[in-house]
Amino acid sequence: MKDLKSQASKSTTPGKGGLTPEIQSRIGHQLRAMYDDVVRQGVPDRFAELIKKLDAPGGAPQVETDGGSNDNNNGRD
């Protein structure tokens, strides 16, 4: 087996401030890993409820477009 090849391709030592493609992709990878960790947590209940509760901003009755027989009374607390 020839390990020479893998050694040769390992010439990725960066100079000061130099950005090899390998390092660029490593940064991108870590950045996304950190970010996606939070994204995967989904929508916490507090926000789902908030948006539901405030679906009629300023007290304006919400317009139901799907023709349902929902009677949308405004008697909220």
Partner 1 sequence: MPLTESLRNDILAAVPSLRAFAISLSGNADRADDLVQETLLRALANIDSFQPGSNLPAWLFTILRNLFRSDYRKRRREVEDAEGNYAKTLKTQPSQNAHLEFEEFRGALEKLPQDQREALILVGASGFSYEDAASICGCAVGTIKSRVNRARSKLAALLYVDGAEDFGPDETVRAVIGGSGG
Summarize as ranges the residues that interact with partner 1 (CB under 8 A). 10, 12-14, 16-19, 22-24, 26-28, 30-44, 46-48, 50-51, 54-58, 62-63, 65-66
Residue with smaller CB distance to partner 1, 42 or 75:
42
Task: Round to whole Å and give the CA distance between 13 and 17.
Answer: 11
Q: What's the maximum distance between 2 C-alpha atoms anywhere in the chain?
A: 79
Q: Which is nearer to partner 1, 3 or 55 (CB)?
A: 55
CA 66 to chain centre: 30
Indicate the residue among 41 and 73 with the shorter CB distance to partner 1.
Answer: 41
DSSP state of 9: T
